[in-house]
Amino acid sequence: MIPAAFDYERAESVDHAIELLGSDEEAKILAGGHSLLPLMKLRLAQPSKLVDISRVDGLSEISDEADAMVIGALTRHHDVANSDVLQANCPIVAHTAGEIGDPAVRHVGTIGGSVAHADPASDLPTVLLALGATMVVRGPGGASREVGAGDFFKGLFEPDLAPDEVLVQIRVPRHTGGWSYLKFHRRAQDWALVGVAALAANGSGPTVALTNMGDRPLRASAVEHALGAGADPATAAQLAAEGTSPPSDAFGSAEYRRELSKVLVQRALEQAMA
């Protein structure tokens, strides 16, 4: 399968990328391309121009700042998974990055690409939502803004990003308490039928977030409230599907996903709180 024709420009800097994006409403950013190119090959996406940001300097580092781990948007899943900083300070992010796709995919796919793609079946957005991560977005004229994960994922493939904005960093709070990310899929490299991120209490009560249970990653609020009120994980997990609207597809019906979410939430909570 061959994508439809497009123009190709390589950005020298974030501001250059923003300028190139601003010159063409149908332009898209190319980082690793592992979310975008498959859509382009199926002609589900037909951008008129690709702005390749993959060689922009300074967006592939992971640093430990006082209040957060800062992950450059171009950091590849492989490097997130193998990051000493993340393994020590926020192991759920490193672990989950290592569960995406397969090794060859992780050598190219980037965390920023995965986040900006906003696929509700994608693993990292759920983990970032559970952690309360912050996306740092740059726009025209050097403007910069920060968006919490709860606001960033607005809907199906719909991130809070204007056409001429670039996601540059992801700020992840430290979390060294108990955690779990579980996903169920039929074949090794498949997308999650359902995924669950669970974090043991880290100041407030335990946190639970769900993958592929709606049009965006969702907090399992009913489960969190029940746990906060003293319910045990098995009882709280029965509320996993409340407020969700999971899809039905060839791999599982919505009803199947609702049941699966209860099982996975219980297991994830038991792991996180062990």
Partner 1 sequence: MTRVAVTVNGEQREAEVEPRQLLVYFLREGLGLTGTNVGCDTSSCGSCTVHVDDEAVKSCTMLAVQADGRRVTTIEGMAAGGQLHPMQEAFRRNHGLQCGYCTPGMVMAATSYLEENASPSETEVRQALEGNLCRCTGYQNIVKAVLDAASPERVGRAIGDAVNGPEGGA
Residues that bind partner 1 (CB under 8 A): 1-8, 10, 30, 33-34, 37-38, 40-41, 50, 52, 54, 78, 101-105, 107-108, 188-189
Please identify, using beta-carbon distances, which residue of 78 and 258 lies nearer to partner 1. 78
Nearest approach in angstroms of CB 11 to partner 1 is: 13
Smallest separation (angstroms) from partner 1 to the CB of 42: 9
Q: How far is the CB of 48 from partner 1 (least distance, A)?
A: 11
- Using the minimum distance from each CB to partner 1, give the nearer residue, 35 or 180: 35
Q: Closest separation between CB of residue 113 and partner 1, Å? A: 12
Question: Based on CB atoms, which residue is closest to partner 1, 104 or 156?
Answer: 104
Instruction: Provide, rounded to whole angstroms, the least separation between the CB of residue 139 and partner 1.
Output: 25
Report the 3 state secondary structure along the chain: CCCCCCEEEECCCHHHHHHHHHCCCCEEEECCCCCHHHHHHCCCCCCCEEEECCCCCCCCCEEECCCCEEEECCCEHHHHHCCHHHHHHCHHHHHHHCCCCCHHHHCCCEHHHHHHHCCCCCHHHHHHHHHCCEEEEECHHHCEEEEEHHHHEEECCEECCCCCCEEEEEEECCCCCCEEEEEECCCCCCCCCEEEEEECCECECCEEEEECCCCCCEECHHHHHHHHCCCCHHHHHCCCCCCCCCCCECCECHHHHHHHHHHHHHHHHHHHCC
Query: Closer to partner 1 at the Cβ: 195 or 214?
Result: 195
Question: How many whole angstroms separate alpha carbon 151 and alpha carbon 165?
Answer: 16
- Of 103 and 228, which has the nearer Cβ to partner 1? 103
Which of 23, 63 has the CB closer to partner 1?
A: 23
Q: Provide the minimum distance between the beta carbon of 175 and partner 1 in the complex, in angstroms, as a whole number.
A: 25
Amino acid at residue number 237: A
